[in-house]
Amino acid sequence: MSSLPVFVRKARAWLAAASPATKLSVVLGNESADLDSVASALCLAFVRTRRQQTDEGSPIIPIVNVSRADLPLRTEVTFVLEKLGIDAGDLVCRDEVDLAGFAAAQSLDVTLVDHNRLAGHQTFLQPFVTHIVDHHVDEHDFDPSVSTIEMIGSCSSLVARQYTVNLDRSKGRTFDTDEAAAALMKPFCDVDADKWFSAIQEAKFNCAHLTTMQLLRKDYKEIGARKATVGFPAVTMDLQQLVQKERFLEDLEEFRCSHHLDLVVIMSTVFAPEFARQLALYTHASLRATAWWPAIVEALEGNGELQLERLALESPDSLIAYQQHNIKKSRKAVLPFVRSVVEGLAAPPPTGNDRAST
């Protein structure tokens, strides 16, 4: 495999000819499919294939953990792919490979990158996970012997100790390993890091043309706790701008219903005029009339680390929005906290996910 674009193209071609009778090794990114996750999956699969096999051997397949239809919504990912000469059509998305068929045939080997807990619909993969490379809180779903988990800013730093441009420690997301990886790879990178970072950020935040539904799908994670299901869409748009989009509330409720969610936690990040974080909570009308909803709200507002302050948005009463003054707490920190809150409460009543409501 002479280059990453060639590797990606050959990996897809090899997979197209494979069957469950063939041993399949994959590197699976997380469900948000952000740039860090996709880069980690591609690079780890590429490096391992080069180290373990010849050009004629079967490659290790990187899988982007979203549907093909949702890949174009990852604007920063498609931007970087184009700059690297990688055809987005050559990537393998999760709905383009029959992982269940390979699992049933016991002919599957899975490496997880950028996450260490499988999504609810992918838990059938658990017996086949042999390695994990991640930078999130360890959920302890797997034996430590298969895990490389380090709480740093970038999973790609763990994958290849490669150059990372997200090195502003003031955001609370950069650590010694990130900087060591950057220092190691910088002599080999013929790019202006600041210009490259700015271009990626511009591509990532170029989302005004997207509908509410597309924005909610663009960068999404979900937890299927024992007592409730919570969705965490991350949007790169000020919440006031978001709630003013056409059909905002209708699309939000449709999104909640289609994902069978008890709670939606929208996390907003904006960079202008300065870096800021916002958070919004939304649930079904029937749950807002129960004790479950105020308990969730009280727990979030009582978390001193997040430093939440209610926002007076021109928004429907069904949405509670906050300015998050502690900008160092990203979704990576908020998600496990919300999970612990949900698990500590009684299960909410059924929400009627088959019907829309405001």
The one-character DSSP state at 89 is G
Residue 307 — very low, low, confident or very high, per pLDDT cuts 50/70/90? very high
Q: In this structure, are 183 and 41 located in the same domain?
A: yes
| Residue at which a domain ends, from 157, 178, 201 | 201
pLDDT of residue 179: 55
Average pLDDT, the chain: 86
By the 8 A CB rule, do 293 and 302 touch? no
Pairing of strands 229-235, 61-64: unpaired
225 shares its domain with 102: no
Q: What percent of the chain has pLDDT over 90?
A: 61
**Is residue 222's pLDDT more than 50?**
yes
Higher pLDDT, 261 or 20: 261
Is the per-residue pLDDT at 197 higher than 50?
yes
* Residues paired with residue 342 on neighbouring β-strands, in sequence order: none
Cα separation, 3 vs 186, whole angstroms:
19
- For residue 317, pLDDT beyond 80: no
Residues 258, 293 within the same domain: yes
CA pair distance 284, 258, nearest whole angstrom: 13
Residue 225 confidence (pLDDT) above 80: no
Between 182 and 314, the higher pLDDT residue = 314
What is the C-alpha to C-alpha distance for residues 181 and 185, in angstroms, rounded to an integer?
A: 6
Q: Is residue 22 in some structural domain? A: yes
63 and 104 assigned to the same domain = yes
For residue 166, what pLDDT is reported? 40
CATH of residue 227 = 3.10.310.20
Domain that holds residue 122: 4-201
Q: Which strands make up the sheet holding 129-134, listed edge to edge?
A: 92-93, 61-64, 24-28, 108-113, 129-134, 147-149
Would you state the pLDDT for residue 81? 94
CATH number at residue 9: 3.90.1640.10
User: Residue 122 above 70 pLDDT?
Assistant: yes
The answer to whether residues 234 and 181 belong to one domain is: no
Return the pLDDT at 52. Answer: 75
The Cα 327–Cα 324 span in angstroms is 6
Instruction: Please check the confidence at residue 356 and state whether its pLDDT lies above 50.
Output: no
Residue 101 domain-assigned (yes or no): yes
Task: Write the burial class of residue 237 (CB in 10 Å: 0-12 exposed, 13-18 middle, 19+ buried).
Answer: buried
Q: Residue 132 pLDDT more than 50?
A: yes
Distance CA 336, CA 230 (A): 11
Which stretch, 160-169, 313-322, 338-347, has highest mean pLDDT? 338-347
CA dihedral 230, 233, 234, 236 (to 10 degrees): -150
Higher-confidence residue: 41 or 317?
Answer: 41
pLDDT of 309 above 80 = yes
Residue 131 has pLDDT above 90, yes or no: yes
Tell whether 219 and 283 lie within a shared domain: yes
Of 158, 174, 201, which marks where a domain is finished? 201
Do residues 250 and 326 share a domain? yes
Give the model's pLDDT for residue 206: 76
Q: Sorting pLDDT into bands at 50, 70 and 90, what band is 207?
A: confident
Mean pLDDT, range 15-23, rounded to an integer: 89
Residue 13: closest CA among 84, 125, 91: 91
Residue 16 and residue 163 in one domain = yes
Global pTM reads 0.75
pLDDT at position 164 is: 38
Q: Does a cis peptide bond (omega within 30 degrees of 0) precede residue 273?
A: yes
Q: Over the stretch 136-188, which tens digit does the pLDDT of each residue have?
A: 889 999 999 898 888 888 888 888 653 333 444 455 555 555 555 455 445 54
Same domain, 229 and 158: no
Are 167 and 187 in a shared domain?
yes
Among 97-106, 123-132, 310-319, 337-346, which stretch is predicted with the lowest mean pLDDT?
310-319
Q: Which of 87-101, 180-194, 195-209 has the highest mean pLDDT?
A: 87-101
- Out of 201, 220, 255, a domain closes at 201
Q: How confident is the model at residue 167, as a pLDDT? A: 41
Residues 188 and 64 in one domain: yes
Q: Does 351 reside within a domain?
A: no
Q: How many domains does the chain have?
A: 2
pLDDT level of residue 48 (50, 70, 90 thresholds): confident
Looking at the structure, do residues 183 and 235 belong to the same domain, yes or no? no
Angle formed by the axes of helices 35-52 and 75-83, to 10°?
40
Please answer whether residues 161 and 143 qualify as being in contact, where contact means their C-beta atoms are separated by less than 8 angstroms.
Answer: no
Given a cut of 60, whether residue 130 has pLDDT beyond it is yes
